[in-house]
Chains A and B, each alone.
Chain A
Amino acid sequence: MLKNVVYTLVIITCLCSQAWSQPQSDLREEENIYEQIYNAPLKLIDGKSTTVLQLAEKKPLILALIFTRCSGICSPYLLQLKENIKSQSADATKPFNVLVLSFDSEDSVADMVNLAKRFELLDDNNWHFAITDSITGLIKSVGFHPVWNDNIKQFDHDALLVGINTQGFIIKKLLGMRGESDVALLIESINNEFIPTYRLPGKSSLFSCFNYDPKTGKNTPGLGLLFIALPALIAMLLLFGIRFVVRSKSS
C-alpha cells in the first residue's frame, strides 16, 4: 500500500517538474503594455528635431525598429509593413503615423534617407525615418533586446512593431511578420478602440478552461473547467465525510 502511494507521488512529482520546466510561453507581446514609451529625442530625415512623445501627440504612432546594414529580416519586414498599410482602407477616424527608427548607433541620417528612398517612402507624409542618440532607453522601454553578433557583423533581433497612442502609452505590440488583419487591429488599438483579444495558452499554461484550435477556430473544454467544479465537489464530499466521521465517533 505504502509502496503504491510512494510510486504515485514520485510519478506525479516527475510529471509536475517536467511540466513546470517547460519553457515560458512567448508572452513578450504583453510586456510593457500600458507603460509610457521612453521620450527619446529624434533626428528626422527632413532635418527637423523632435521627440517620440511629441510625434505621437500629433497622431498615434506605429514604431518599427530596424538598422540599415541589416541583411536579415529588416527589409522584408519593412516591405510587408508598407504593403499592409497600403492595403488598409483610408479612414480619417483612425489616423496614424509610422516611425521607422534605427537602433544601430552607426546609422546616420543619410543612411535613413537612403532607406526611405529605397522603399519609395521619402515623400509619404505618414512615414517618418529617424535616428536617436538615446536608443538604449527607448528599446528598454518597449522590451526590444537586439544582440550584436561580431562574427557576422549583424544584430540578432526580433521583427517588432510597437503601437503608441497619443498619450505616449504602448498599447499593442506585434512580434514577427504579421498580416493585414493584425496591423488593422494595431491601428484600431492605438486609436483607443476596444479590441477583444485572448492570450493563447502556451505550454507553460496547463489548466486552461478551453483549448482553442486555431485551425478549426473551435474551443474544446479544458482541464481548467474541472478546477471550477472542484470546490463544490470537495464541499459535498466533506459534508458526507464529516457526517460519517461524527456518526462513527458517536456510535
Chain B
Amino acid sequence: MENIRLKKITAIWIIAVLLLFVAAITLGIIMRLNQADVMHLNPAKFYEDMTVHGLTMIGIWFVAGMAALNFIMERYVKTSYSANLIALIFTVIGVVMLWISAFVGQFHAGWTFLYPLPLRPLWDSWAIALFLFSIAVLGVGWLIWTISLMAALLRKYSISQVFAWQHLSNKNPEVETPPFVLISMISLIGVLTSLLAAVVLLILLFAEFYTHGSFTNDPLLMKNLTYYFGHTIANEMLYLGLAVIYELFAEISGRPKWKTTWYVTIAWNLTLFFVLGAFLHHMYMDFVQPESLQLIGQFASYLASLPSAAVTVFSIIVAVYRTKIKWSMPNLLFLIGTCGWIIGGVGALIDATISNNFVLHNTLWVPAHFHTYNAMGNVLFSLGFFCWFSTQFSAKEVVDRMRSLKIALLIIGGIGFLAAFYIAGADSIPRRYSNYPSELAAGKSYALLGAVSAMIYLIAIIMFFVNITKRCLKMLFTH
C-alpha cells in the first residue's frame, strides 16, 4: 500500500514537472524570439517571462531530483509520505502564486530578485507581497521534505556512517554506506543550508517591506544571501540527479552495483564543505566584498566540483569501457547528461576564475554554462529517471521505436541552443537585454539560432512528455 502511494505521488510529480517544463521552455523561446526581433514584447513583459522562466526551471528540476531521490531512498530507509505530499501541495500553491505575481501583478525583478529591485515600486505592492509569499510557501514545503528525508537516513545511519567516514580507514567496513546514501545526505545538507539562507533572506525582505523602509537592508548582505540560496540550490539539484545515477546507472546497464570507496568518500565530503562557499564567485563585481572572500569563492568553486566530477566520470568510464552494456533510454540519457554536466561545469569554472570573470561576467557566457549543465545535464538525469520509473512498472516490455529520433533531436537542439549562447558570450553580447541595440546587432542572429534550436529541443521534450505522461497516468488510475 505504502509503495503504491509513493509510486502514485512520484507519477504526479513527474507529470507536473514535465508540464511546467514545456511551459517554461516556451517562455524561453519567446524571449529568444524577442531578442531576435522576430517578436516584439514590451520590455516589462520580457522580464516577467524571464522571472517566471528562471524560477520555474530551478523549482521544477529541484523537485524532480527530490522526487527521484525520495523514490529510490525507499530501497534503504522508510520515508515519509506526508512530507512528500505536503511538498507537492506547497509546490503547486507556490508556483500558482509566483505566476500570478508575475503575469497579473507584473512583478519582473528577474529570477535572482536581487535587492533592492523586488521592493522598488515598479509594480503593484500586492505583487511584491505575493511574490515573497510564493517563495516562502515553496521554501516551507521543501524544507519540511528535506528535513524528513534527512531524518529517514539518520534513523538508520549514524552521522559518521551517513558520511561514509568508516570507508576512509577500512576497505571492508562492518556497515557499508551505499554511494546513493552518501550523496543523498551531502545534497540534502546543502539543500537545507540553501533553504535556510532563503529563510534569512525572506525575513529581511519582509521586514523592509512591512516597515515601509524604516528598516533597511544592507545590499551586500542581501546579495550574499541571494546567491547563497540560489547558487547552492542550483548546484545541489545536480547532485540529487547524480545520486540517482550512482544508484541506477550500473543497475540499468546490467553491471555490478557501484560501491563506496575511500576516494568517493573524500570527493563527496569535499563537495559538502566547499559547495557552501562556491556562491562567493557571484560577488566578484562587488568591490566592497573583501578580496579574501573573492579568493575563497574561486577555490571553493574548484574544490566543490572537480573531485566529485572526476570520481563520477571515472566510475562511468570504468562501467562502460570495453564492457557489454545493455543500452536503454535511461542509461543513454544518464551518459549524455553526465557529458553535459561536465561541459557546463568546465564553462562554469572558466567563469568562476576571477581573471576570466572580468571579461565574461555580464555576457551570454553565463546563461550558456548554466543552461549546459541544466538543459543538457540535470534535465537528462531526471528524464532518465522518469523513463526508468514509467517503464519499470509496466506489465509488458516497453519498446521505444522513436528512441534514436528523440536522442538526435535532443542533442541537435541542445547543442544549437547552447552554441548560440556560448558564441554570443565570447562575442561579448551582454545578457539580460530584452532588445539588442544596433551596436549589438549580432546578438539578434545568435538569438534566432538559439530560438530555432530550442524549438527542436522542445519537440524532443514533447515526445518524452507524451510517452512518459501516458504511462504515468496509467499508473495513477490502476491499482
Interface residues of A (CB under 8 A from B): 19-25, 27, 196, 198-199, 201-202, 204-210, 219, 222, 224, 227-228, 230-232, 234-235, 238-240, 242-243, 245-246, 250
Question: Which residues 153-211 in B have Cβ within 8 Å of A in the complex?
Answer: 154-155, 158-159, 189, 192-194, 196-197, 199-200, 204, 207, 211
Contact flag A21-B150 (CB < 8 Å), given A209-B220, A210-B288, A228-B224:
no
Give me the 7 closest cross-chain CB pairs, A-B, nearest first: A231-B196, A224-B221, A231-B197, A235-B193, A208-B218, A243-B154, A246-B155
Contact B154 A208 (CB under 8 A): no
Contact B214 A201 (CB under 8 A): no
Contact flag A242-B215 (CB < 8 Å), given A231-B193, A235-B189:
no
Contact B151 A228 (CB under 8 A): no
Q: Which residues of B contact A242 (CB under 8 A)?
A: 147, 150-151, 154
Q: Which residues of B contact A23 (CB under 8 A)?
A: 214
Contact A227 B225 (CB under 8 A): yes
B445 CB within 8 Å of chain A: no
Within the complex, the shortest CB–CB distance from A134 to chain B, in Å, comes to 23
Kindly list 20 other residue pairs between chains A and B, CB separation below 8 angstroms, not including A204-B215, A239-B150.
Answer: A20-B211, A23-B214, A24-B214, A24-B216, A27-B216, A199-B219, A201-B216, A204-B213, A210-B290, A224-B221, A228-B221, A230-B200, A231-B228, A235-B189, A235-B193, A239-B159, A239-B189, A243-B154, A246-B154, A250-B155
Q: Which residues of B contact A222 (CB under 8 A)?
A: 218
| Complex alpha-carbon distance, A24 and B193, angstroms | 32
Q: Which residues of A contact B225 (CB under 8 A)?
A: 227-228
B276 CB within 8 Å of chain A: yes
B197 nearest CB neighbor, chain A only: A231
- Looking at A196, A202, A238, which has the most chain B CB atoms within 10 Å of its CB? A238
B42 CB within 8 Å of chain A: no
Q: Which residues of B contact A224 (CB under 8 A)?
A: 218, 220-221
B467 CB within 8 Å of chain A: no
Within the complex, the shortest CB–CB distance from A140 to chain B, in Å, comes to 14
| Complex alpha-carbon distance, A222 and B224, angstroms | 14
A30 nearest CB neighbor, chain B only: B116
Q: Which residues of B contact A219 (CB under 8 A)?
A: 288, 290
Contact flag A228-B204 (CB < 8 Å), given A234-B196, A238-B192:
no
Q: Which residues of B contact A250 (CB under 8 A)?
A: 155
Q: Which residues of B contact A243 (CB under 8 A)?
A: 154, 158-159
A204 nearest CB neighbor, chain B only: B216
Option from B155, B197, B207, B214 in Cβ contact (under 8 Å) with A22? B214
B287 CB within 8 Å of chain A: yes
Contact B218 A246 (CB under 8 A): no
Q: Which residues of B contact A231 (CB under 8 A)?
A: 193-194, 196-197, 199-200, 228
Within the complex, the shortest CB–CB distance from B121 to chain A, in Å, comes to 11
| Complex alpha-carbon distance, A202 and B218, angstroms | 10
| Complex alpha-carbon distance, A25 and B219, angstroms | 14
B277 nearest CB neighbor, chain A only: A232
Q: Which residues of B contact A239 (CB under 8 A)?
A: 150, 154, 159, 189
| Complex alpha-carbon distance, A205 and B192, angstroms | 27
Contact B221 A227 (CB under 8 A): yes
Q: Which residues of B contact A206 (CB under 8 A)?
A: 215
B394 CB within 8 Å of chain A: no
- Looking at B158, B159, B192, which has the most chain A CB atoms within 10 Å of its CB? B192
Within the complex, the shortest CB–CB distance from A41 to chain B, in Å, comes to 28
B217 CB within 8 Å of chain A: yes
Contact flag A209-B192 (CB < 8 Å), given A21-B214, A27-B216, A204-B215:
no
Question: Which residues 268-282 in B have Cβ within 8 Å of A in the complex?
Answer: 276
Q: Which residues of A contact B287 (CB under 8 A)?
A: 196, 198
A240 nearest CB neighbor, chain B only: B159
Contact flag A24-B213 (CB < 8 Å), given A228-B225, A232-B276, A235-B189:
yes
| Complex alpha-carbon distance, A19 and B215, angstroms | 8
- What are 17 A-B pairs at a CB distance below 8 A? A20-B214, A22-B214, A198-B219, A198-B220, A222-B218, A228-B221, A230-B196, A230-B200, A231-B197, A231-B228, A235-B196, A238-B150, A242-B150, A245-B151, A246-B154, A246-B155, A250-B155
Contact flag A207-B221 (CB < 8 Å), given A235-B193, A242-B151:
yes
B116 nearest CB neighbor, chain A only: A30
Option from A19, A196, A201, A234 in Cβ contact (under 8 Å) with B218? A201
| Complex alpha-carbon distance, A240 and B192, angstroms | 13
| Complex alpha-carbon distance, A103 and B276, angstroms | 54
Q: Which residues of A contact B207 (CB under 8 A)?
A: 20
Contact B216 A25 (CB under 8 A): yes
Within the complex, the shortest CB–CB distance from B78 to chain A, in Å, comes to 12
Q: Which residues of B contact A198 (CB under 8 A)?
A: 219-220, 287-288
| Complex alpha-carbon distance, A235 and B273, angstroms | 12
